[in-house]
Amino acid sequence: MITPPTFDFLRDLKANNNRDWFTEHKPRYQAAHKAFKAFANVLLDEVSHHDEIENLKLFRIYRDVRFSKDKSPYKPHFSGSMIRATKWRRGGYYFHLSPGSSFAGGGFWDPNTDDLKRIRTEIANHPEEMREVLQHPELQQYFDGLEGDQVKTAPRGFTKDHPAIDLLRYKQFLLTHPFTDEEVLAPDFAQQLSRVFQAMRPFFDYMSEVLTTDENGVPIE
């Protein structure tokens, strides 16, 4: 489980985001990171009961500041992702733990050109299917709707007055659910987080079917 010392470290790091402070408090970082890593492995085990995971990745706390106006050297959060196994299961899970701003996320962060075109074509031809998925009771229990970057008007090849233009504008297809600090620090948080990920399944099943078949529903080899 995530314990108060982990959040205490992240809270102090946010207030003292510089190399001198981090070096002085590196043992605290190491202890917090070890606890986060242990939590992530428990989470992986929980998620593996309802999905097949190909890879668990924990992100480094060190920021790449080369092209950023914000030169803070460290991320004041711990985060990780899980990729679903095989080409037939599309989508990925993301978890982000930070005092006051923890959340679970999932979906399609940066679909390649072919995948984005295929998704938009399917939405344009059958918008009711995506809308039904987003209205699924499991999704609505945890998520407020589709999120992600959008084009300002209409993507190339589609008109601004298309009846599904609200969906076609998306360049990313994401779901997120926030957690309070109390929820993150609860003994059963790994199980709670896994349940939120499991609630994404109708969305993932729909998108996986779209991205592994052509417009006629024939599997893509």
Longest dimension (CA), the chain: 61
Instruction: For residue 201, give every residue at least 6 positions away whose Cβ sits within 8 Å of its Cβ, in sequence order, or none.
Output: 50, 51, 138
With both helix axes pointing from N to C terminus, report the angle between 113-125 and 127-134 in degrees, rounded to the nearest 10. Answer: 100
- By the 8 A CB rule, do 157 and 123 touch? no
- Nearest CA among 110, 109, 101 for reference residue 183: 101
Model's pTM, two decimal places?
Answer: 0.94
Kindly report, residue by residue over 72-88, the tens digit of the pLDDT: 999 999 999 999 999 99
Kindly report, residue by residue over 16-48, the tens digit of the pLDDT: 999 999 999 999 999 999 999 999 999 999 999
Residue 211 pLDDT class (50, 70, 90 cuts):
very high
Residue 218 pLDDT class (50, 70, 90 cuts):
confident
DSSP 133-146: HHT-HHHHHH--S-
